Structure 1
Amino acid sequence: MAPSRPSRRVLLQSGAALAALALAGGCSSDSSGSAGSSAGGTEGQPSPGGTAPAASPGAEGRAMPAEWSPHTRTFMAWPALEEVWGDQLPGVRQDIAALAQAVAGYEQVVLLARPDQADQARQACGSSVEVLELAVDDLWARDTGPTFVTGPQGLAGVDLNFNGWGGKQTHANDGQVARNLLDHYRITRIQAPITGEGGAIEVDGEGTLMATESSWVNDNRNPGRTRDQIEASLKELLGVEKVLWFKGVAGQDITDCHVDALARFAEPGTVVLHRPAADTPPDVWTTASAQALQVLQSATDANGRKLKIVDLPEPDLDQIQGAGKNFLATYINYYVCNGGVIVPRFGDKTADDRAAGILADLHPGRKVTQVGINHIAAGGGGIHCATQQQPALPGASPAPAPARPSGSASPSASV
């Protein structure tokens, strides 16, 4: 019997961690440079030290592409802090290196790493992964990096004012990752009027967004704001027309139940839903999945379509070596890249094979690569949490994957 899905990550309550948290607890991007509108910078050209032009939210015609749209590159980050990971840090870094290499089999990967850790990251990841020296605290590029939108003015990045998931973890550097990354590539920056994370957003590319109330309508991110106010901001920022809200779960994990661990679009009109094992005892997580199912069964998308729902069952924790109470045992946190789908491999062979088959069927024409991420999962995260795509502009050819060193695994192999 699989135990109920646990919290995402336990933060070490060491004096060092608490001191860092106290220092950075209110950290978010400031408002300098956020007013006004500007045409996009020269996309993909590193800044010589200047600041990416800022733009007002709601620039006409901008929208967030679906994840399965072509990418220019994937961003990831090298976990930096022993005070967060403790003795798990070497294993987590091993998983990040394997994940970066797997994604690099399909498209360019840029791994952000502190300058004093960059050589270590390069050695671990190999020549197929580009390492960019930029100050980070942790590995969650989905949440700390910008959320990209495209439109008539080109590419822009939405800075969602990352605040450590409501002040739960040190983020003095991570709170500035979106701004610094956009500055480096001279990409237009849009400072959001709300606070949130990329993992709290799931779009179909045709006007529909899914989100949990628990990770948005929460005083630890957006005090005093109603769901309607937050929804209006999301629509304006991301170019969506309809938001499907799930209740989620507040206060039980560090993310307050991000949607990317609950439900994902496989294509417009099709939603993949995390489902607990049939014999899982009822708890807040089984309730969240059931509530999301109820919403989806009665919902239509922005184009009026009824939704097809595909269950993605979790593995049996009893079959997973080293799985503890904080293990994020879900396959829903997968990543779609150019020509591929990167899927967790936990060690429950039956469930691993079943998930790979379901996702292969849902993404025809893409190869499935299974990656062992048990150290990351033991800390409560997954593949999607650790990656953030930069979409290619419409009409542009996506950048090819770097040449693989001789003797490396093919993209379709398990890693």
Structure 2
Amino acid sequence: MSRRSVFSVFAGAGLLAAGVSACGPSDPPTPVLPGLPGSGDPEPSVVGGRLGAEWESHVRTYMSWPAQQSIWKQYLEDVRKDIAGLARDIAEYEYVVMLARPDQADAAQRACGNAVEVVPLAVDDLWARDTVPVFVEQPGRVVGVDLNFNGWGNKQPHPNDGPLGRNLLAHYKIPRHQAPFTAEGGALETDGEGTLLVTESSLVNDNRNPGKSRDQLEAELKLTLGIEKVLWFDGVRGEDITDAHIDCLVRYVAPGVVLLDKAFPGAPADSWSRSSDQARQVLAQATDARGRKLQVIDLPQPDPGRITGEGDEFVSSYANFYIANGAVFMPEFGDRQADDRARGILRDHLPGRDIVPVPIDEIAAGGGGIHCSTHDQPGKPAR
């Protein structure tokens, strides 16, 4: 059993529905912060907004300090080292905010160093991509879209991460819009020009959006995020905690150009390689919101026999990279040939940026990666 698979076992047994926490005793949830813009009723519409591409300018990167021994067991300090190291690396290029429980903020600050701002705000785990709101740009302002995080379809209890969107937006006085659907940031990939990539397995799923059809969700995505066209991929249901987020499968690197995760040559076919094959078929036939055919670049995975990490839920996809101001942060898995190949592909398709490999074995063993651990806010750089 891997480091996090205990949760899916408990959830599958129906214990969460019965009110038994798979994490054991948990801290009480943080109340919603009152009295600040964004903390009251959400705005009724964000029509006319735009969901920007990740390569556009960021005012800051958000990250979250892993909080619970009950989730990470004996690996908590190891994963904190990975998170602190990643935060320090990103802080070389743009402003980084680490969200941490108030009683853990001092320890997080010591680990991350003075280049990272630690903000005391209760969190449960490190997956900021999914728990922090997505940001839609409107003339003269940015609106935070709260995606109603529910622990990836109630697979894990997240009493603090659930209201994190509302509380973070209140802290920064950013207007809040509550999405009419439930999703996570890692489920959404855009070119910044009106095209959105998503997996059906993650959104058209009764664990998040019971009773809603794909057509209904597509209409809501377009209205909420200022999207003109949605490209749907099958994904994979029930085999990882996210139900196959798009950010480990297909990523934009420029309008009309995507990188596609590809299994290591010769690896046995499985749900994930079949998902990649299906995505390739969709991409080959698709046009984006501007009518362009898509250029598809393979991004091959490392040799499973050469990676330095381990675990049943280890994520070895290079597609889970993060584009920051002036740099791209990619996972380094220990297969030198594959690591170098991925670095070259990213350099070729994101020119003018430093390509920074980061070892993240503990994060990857927890079922995620660099993109899962970061969340960008668009705007003029803070420094």
Range into which the TM-score falls when normalised by the shorter chain? over 0.9
Letter paired with 2:186:
G
In structure 1, the residue matched to 2:335 is 348
* Alpha-carbon contact 1:54-1:188 (below 8 Å) kept: no
In structure 2, the residue matched to 1:110 is 97
Letter paired with 1:377:
A
How many matched pairs? 375
In structure 1, the residue matched to 2:246 is 259
In structure 1, the residue matched to 2:291 is 304
Letter paired with 1:11:
V
In structure 2, the residue matched to 1:198 is 185
Does residue 50 of structure 1 match 2:36?
A: yes
Give the whole-Å Cα distance in 1 for the aligned partners of 2:52 and 2:311.
36
In structure 1, the residue matched to 2:237 is 250
RMSD of the alignment, in Å? 2.6
Question: How far apart are residue 55 of structure 1 and its match?
Answer: 4.5
In structure 2, the residue matched to 1:151 is 138
Does residue 240 of structure 1 match 2:227?
A: yes
* Alpha-carbon contact 2:55-2:325 (below 8 Å) kept: yes
* Alpha-carbon contact 1:57-1:236 (below 8 Å) kept: no
Letter paired with 2:329:
I
In structure 2, the residue matched to 1:124 is 111
CA separation of 1:107/1:54 partners in 2, compared to 1, >3 Å: closer, same or farther? farther
Q: Secondary structure at the match of 1:20?
A: coil
* Alpha-carbon contact 1:115-1:135 (below 8 Å) kept: yes
Question: How far apart are residue 63 of structure 1 and its match?
Answer: 1.1
Give the whole-Å Cα distance in 2 for the aligned partners of 1:335 and 1:322.
20
In structure 1, the residue matched to 2:255 is 268
TM-score between the two structures when normalised by the length of structure 2? 0.92
In structure 2, the residue matched to 1:398 is 381
In structure 2, the residue matched to 1:313 is 300
Matches within 5 A, 1:331-370: 331-370=318-357
In structure 2, the residue matched to 1:229 is 216
* Alpha-carbon contact 1:77-1:113 (below 8 Å) kept: yes
Give the whole-Å Cα distance in 2 for the aligned partners of 1:8 and 1:242.
38
Q: Secondary structure at the match of 2:137?
A: strand
Give the whole-Å Cα distance in 2 for the aligned partners of 1:210 and 1:163.
21
Tell which deviates more after alignment, 280-289 or 11-20: 11-20
Give the whole-Å Cα distance in 1 for the aligned partners of 2:196 and 2:10.
38
* Alpha-carbon contact 1:141-1:387 (below 8 Å) kept: yes
Partner residue of 1:286 out of 262, 273, 277: 273
Give the whole-Å Cα distance in 2 for the aligned partners of 1:88 and 1:168.
20
Q: Secondary structure at the match of 1:182?
A: helix
Partner residue of 1:376 out of 355, 363, 374: 363
Give the whole-Å Cα distance in 2 for the aligned partners of 1:259 and 1:220.
17
Question: How far apart are residue 136 of structure 1 and its match?
Answer: 0.3
Give the whole-Å Cα distance in 1 for the aligned partners of 2:24 and 2:48.
39
Deviations 1:235-293 (A, max 9, x none): 11111100000000011100000000100000100011000012011111111000000
Give the whole-Å Cα distance in 1 for the aligned partners of 2:382 and 2:104.
27
In structure 2, the residue matched to 1:327 is 314
In structure 2, the residue matched to 1:41 is none
In structure 1, the gaps of 5 or more residues are 1-5, 33-46, 401-415
Q: Secondary structure at the match of 2:347?
A: helix
Letter paired with 1:353:
D
Does residue 10 of structure 1 match 2:11?
A: no
* Alpha-carbon contact 2:64-2:98 (below 8 Å) kept: yes
Does residue 207 of structure 1 match 2:190?
A: no
Partner residue of 1:91 out of 75, 78, 98: 78
Letter paired with 2:5:
V
Letter paired with 2:148:
N
Question: How far apart are residue 56 of structure 1 and its match?
Answer: 3.6
Q: Secondary structure at the match of 1:174?
A: coil
Question: How far apart are residue 202 of structure 1 and its match?
Answer: 0.2
In structure 1, the residue matched to 2:169 is 182
* Alpha-carbon contact 1:21-1:171 (below 8 Å) kept: no
* Alpha-carbon contact 1:8-1:381 (below 8 Å) kept: no
CA separation of 1:154/1:374 partners in 2, compared to 1, >3 Å: closer, same or farther? same
Q: Secondary structure at the match of 2:259?
A: strand
Q: Percent identity?
A: 55
Question: How far apart are residue 170 of structure 1 and its match?
Answer: 1.4
Give the whole-Å Cα distance in 2 for the aligned partners of 1:215 and 1:200.
7
Partner residue of 2:51 out of 52, 64, 68: 64
* Alpha-carbon contact 2:4-2:71 (below 8 Å) kept: no
Q: Secondary structure at the match of 1:319?
A: coil
In structure 2, the gaps of 5 or more residues are none
Question: How far apart are residue 83 of structure 1 and its match?
Answer: 1.1
Does residue 74 of structure 1 match 2:61?
A: yes
Q: Secondary structure at the match of 2:296?
A: strand
In structure 2, the residue matched to 1:404 is none
Question: How far apart are residue 112 of structure 1 and its match?
Answer: 0.3
